[in-house]
Amino acid sequence: MKKLLFLFLCFFTLETFAQKRSINNKLSAEHIFISATKIALVPPPNFTKAVGFSGFQQAETNSSILVAEIPAPYPEMVKSFTAENLKTRGVILIKTEDISFQNTPAKLLFTKQSANGMDFSKTILVFGDSKKVILVNFLYPENDKTLAEQMDKAIASVVYQSNKLVNPLEEANFKINTADSKFKFAHSLSAH
């Protein structure tokens, strides 16, 4: 009987550790929607609405949370997030983690990069569908352990509301008049 109990506990423990991380939140009073996106999260303390991009920033630490939506199929795009491809953009891939985000496959990319003479850690939540890829970038000074913990909590708080209506030009600091042209708005692409 003791051997059977021991085997059961070992199996249960292994199964528990083998489970993927899952992010599946409901909106709360602390959640704040990021302008021009369908993403809400609980930002770390002392982060303010970003200027010039969709996200939050903490100017004194050069930290940011940025959302970008790319019109490309997730299954194909996610294959391109390799160490070699990221390195061409000055980003070093530390590790990737397959997770579940709102009951769909997603990835967390743990990276680092240098900018303006500083070294940064950057965690990217990547998810999407057959038409789009959404990247939620969390950038902070590499050796700031307190900020790393706060960013981890912010990552764990992310909510995506697919049915939310947004104005993708909400963050633009300019206007374009297409009234007398054949042009029409297609989509916005945020980059950082």
Residue 96 identity: T
Which CATH fold topology does 21-160 show?
A: Protein Transport Mog1p; Chain A (3.40.1000)
pLDDT at 168: 63
Q: Under 8 Å CB-to-CB from 60, ≥6 apart: which residues?
A: 46
Predicted local distance difference test score (pLDDT) of residue 161: 95
> Considering only CA atoms, which of 144, 134, 138, 18 is closest in space to residue 74?
134
Domain boundaries, the chain: 21-160
What confidence score (pLDDT) does residue 186 get?
56
E strands within the chain? 22-23, 32-33, 39-41, 48-49, 55-58, 63-70, 91-101, 104-115, 118-128, 133-141, 159-160
SS3 state of residue 157: coil
Return the pLDDT at 129.
96
Q: Which residues of 136-145 are buried (b: 16+ CB within 10 A; e: fewer)?
A: bbbbbbeeee
pLDDT the model gives residue 118: 94
What's the pLDDT at 173? Answer: 59
Question: What integer pLDDT is reported at residue 3 of this predicted model?
Answer: 53
Instruction: Please list the rounded mean pLDDT of every run of 10 residues in the chain (192 residues).
Output: 47 53 94 94 96 93 95 94 96 97 97 94 97 97 96 97 78 66 60 38
Question: What integer pLDDT is reported at residue 5 of this predicted model?
Answer: 43
Q: What is the pLDDT of residue 57?
A: 97
Tell whether pTM > 0.85. Answer: no
Q: What is the pLDDT of residue 109?
A: 98
